[in-house]
Structure 1
Amino acid sequence: MDTNALRWFQQVADGVTVTEVSELEGTTQSGVSRALARLEAEVGTPLLRRTGRTLRMTHAGVAFKRHVDAVMHELDDGLAAVQQLVEPETGTVTLAFQPSLGTWLVPDLVGGFRAAHPGVRFVLQPKRDELVTSLHPRGEIDLELSTLRVGSRAVRWRRLAREPLHLAVPAGHRLADRGRVALAESADQPFIAIRPSSVLRQQCDELCRRAGFTAEIAFECDDLPTIRGFVAAGLGVAIVPAARDSVADPATGSVHLGITDDGAARDIGMSWATERRLLPAAELFRAHVADRTAAGRLLAGPER
């Protein structure tokens, strides 16, 4: 089958008019119409029907398009793979990441990689739901950085580091000069917490439960910088990852205390779909992350 006809069928099925397709592809309207007609003849049934001035998919067209989308996705990946083999320092890495890693780990890893491979482009996608992986065999995501360990054969997970969790308290708080505390010592305090759809929130709730109390949630926030700001304003305490050098420095006016309770740390990992072949650029980045991990530099802060 003519791949141009398949692409034009995809576009028309998605609502693009034949006129628009012809303008985008630099061909004639009659050329597009003839290609679609040849495609329908090869399939053996109409795929599109005219409704007024637009073309809509028939039932056969709907069934056919799902497979066309999959085939063209594989074809595009194949073409990209060949291009990257010819030019190994080009390509695109699509990286999903947990937002709490976006102020320090992601810019550190991407910056270090781009210093050695400036021709590689990145598409960065913060995870909206931290409790669900972004990885799928036919998805767009190459790699994912998060604290979610997926229990599925379809996803490979590699632990990169174990990051301590701290109790953030306002400066001048009765625990501020302690250095390290048992979480039960904060049981009577109002807590600032991240939203329930966060992996960190689930871990914080579990730590408090093990310590013998249910935290009184005074405020729920969408991100860690906001939580740290609320703590600095004296509105409560919070369980947060260890503060690190980042684009957005931790808020002043708060103190981070080590937590002595067992399990007061989170595992940071890298994941990828086992059934999705990584293109060379993504393989290069995965190797870069692995090298940083093996050298023990992952939690050491940005490379200078």
Structure 2
Amino acid sequence: MQHQQRSGGRLSQNSDTEDTAHIVRLLAPRLAYFAGAARTEHVTRAAQELEVPQSTLSRALVRLERDLGVELFARHGRTVSLTPAGRTFLASAERALSEVGKAVESVRADADPTSGKVAFGFLHTMGSETVPGLIRAFRADHPRIRFSLVQNYGEAMLDRLRAGELDLCLTSPVPDAPGLVARRLDEQRLRLVVPDDHRLATRKRIRLAEAADEAFVTLEPGYGLRRITDDLCAEAGFRPRVAFEGEEAETLRGLVAAGLGVALLPPPAVARPGVVELTVTGQRAVREIGVAWLEGHPDTAPVAAFKKFLLGRRGRLLPE
């Protein structure tokens, strides 16, 4: 690949364009050779512009026509002109080359160490305070890094991680699954949330077994917090009687405030009226938060920097 000319430590726009065109020729040489010959209508000039031997260009054009089974050029010595079939093919070839060029520029921009992109997934409960705080702190040293943010429940995020749609995700429980790497970063203490006029609302602490006869509002099956709720209740000796299922923790708080049940939830970003939050004693009522990524998946420079940042905040991930 040709050396890139830099101006003031940055690639010039002209150099960027030339470099992209060079990569496009490497990725789709026969289309690039065809378009070059069609543009110049001269094999020698096209070879010079494309920086390839004339013999290489001529052979490539002959092979292209042979493979297509169609003559694209009428030849007049070293000059050429497009046949009707060649004009039809040129329009599509130029669109294809343009799309390849756009793809080259896009993936290189996303991988740029100073201004690239991180596709980052996280739980709904971390969207109002935790994630904005993390990104603000990270961008103090990396101000131009861009983020594509996805909020979802744990299993859905892991599916998107496996599909290559995410680079990293914050999830709970910390996954232990083939093909994934996960690291524990922090934990949140869960509380039993009850309506402020509930029989237990005057308490500050409670053993979960004391809520065995209550109606619970929970997240839907498949959510990490639902699994943790079921496991904690089983550890306390009962199976929760689920009255309502939802998809978002603050919606559950609203259902509790309306007197429709109780819930095990992490602390809210902002205190909500109408509910009382009780400390659960007698068992370790927490949810662990971890970061996960694909095993063996190469990181771009922006992803590597953000991963290092997250791992450096073990035990300090969540707001006090």
Normalization by structure 1: what TM-score?
Answer: 0.68
AA paired with 2:168?
Answer: L
Measured after TM superposition, the shift of residue 297 of structure 1 is: 2.7
Deviations 1:67-118 (A, max 9, x none): xxxxx9x98897458x62xxx3210000012222222222221122123322
Equivalent residue, structure 2, for 1:148: 173
CA contact (8 A) 2:121 2:169 kept: yes
Structure 1 residue 300 corresponds to structure 2 residue 319: yes
Deviations 1:27-75 (A, max 9, x none): 99xxxxx99x949949xxxxxxxxxxxxxxxxxxxxxxxxxxxxx9x98
RMSD: 3.5
Deviations 1:226-246 (A, max 9, x none): 001111122211011123x3x
Unmatched segments (≥5 aa) in structure 1: 9-21, 29-33, 43-71
AA paired with 2:284?
Answer: G
3-state SS of paired residue (1:115):
coil
AA paired with 1:3?
Answer: L
Q: Which of 288, 305, 310 in structure 2 is aligned with 1:267?
A: 288
Equivalent residue, structure 2, for 1:256: 277
CA contact (8 A) 2:161 2:169 kept: no
Unmatched segments (≥5 aa) in structure 2: 1-24, 40-59, 69-100
3-state SS of paired residue (2:173):
coil
3-state SS of paired residue (1:130):
helix
Measured after TM superposition, the shift of residue 291 of structure 1 is: 2.4
Identity of aligned residues (%): 34
Deviations 1:110-147 (A, max 9, x none): 12212332201000112356366136567131111001
CA distance in 1, matches of 2:303, 2:65: 35
Q: Which of 124, 127, 137 in structure 1 is aligned with 2:149?
A: 124
Structure 1 residue 181 corresponds to structure 2 residue 206: yes
| Greater relative CO (CA pairs within 8 A, separation 6+) | 1
Count of aligned positions: 239
CA contact (8 A) 1:135 1:143 kept: no
Measured after TM superposition, the shift of residue 166 of structure 1 is: 0.6
CA contact (8 A) 2:154 2:171 kept: no
Measured after TM superposition, the shift of residue 175 of structure 1 is: 1.4
3-state SS of paired residue (2:237):
coil
CA distance in 2, matches of 1:110, 1:284: 12
AA paired with 2:136?
Answer: G
CA contact (8 A) 1:134 1:144 kept: no
| Alignment map for 1:209-288 (pairs within 5 Å) | 209-243=234-268, 245=269, 249-288=270-309
